Amino acid sequence: MLAIGELADRIGVPTHVLRYWETRFPQLRPLQRSGRRRYYRAEDVALAEHIHHLLYVQGFTVEGARKVLAGGKTTRPQADAPKVSAERAPDMTAAGGIPVEALISLRRRLAAALG
């Protein structure tokens, strides 16, 4: 089991985001122990990681992610979230705090080394 702070660090979101997700995604229900401390079981961790992937990687809106989890749709429509290139937003950072353009550069170097 993970405490809310541990899960937040693991997936790269603030704790208040996890609390918000609990209000929007009824499937996400961590255990609450004394002092209302939240503890996430393995299935809760997997669900939170899936929600993070839907929202931050695939670009779904919260409502779109809710539909995916309910079994409604499986792919992100193009109108849900526009893609932003690293050239247009060089100050953007990935979940781990690494600048996106640094990750893109690393990916290009790895591709060149492997290909």
Domain ranges of the chain: 2-69, 84-115
- Which has the closest alpha carbon to 66: 54, 57, 78? 54
Question: What pTM did the predictor assign?
Answer: 0.61
pLDDT score of 96: 58
d(CA 10, CA 7): 5
Q: What is 2-69's CATH number? A: 1.10.1660.10
pLDDT score of 16: 94
pLDDT score of 73: 59
Question: pLDDT tens for residues 54-90?
Answer: 999 898 999 999 999 988 655 544 444 444 444 444 4
Higher local confidence (pLDDT), 87 or 97 = 97
Question: pLDDT tens for residues 12-44?
Answer: 999 999 999 999 999 999 998 888 888 999 999
Q: How many CB atoms lie within 10 A of CB 37?
A: 12
List CB contacts of 77: < 8 A, sequence separation 6 or more. 64
DSSP tag of 99 = B
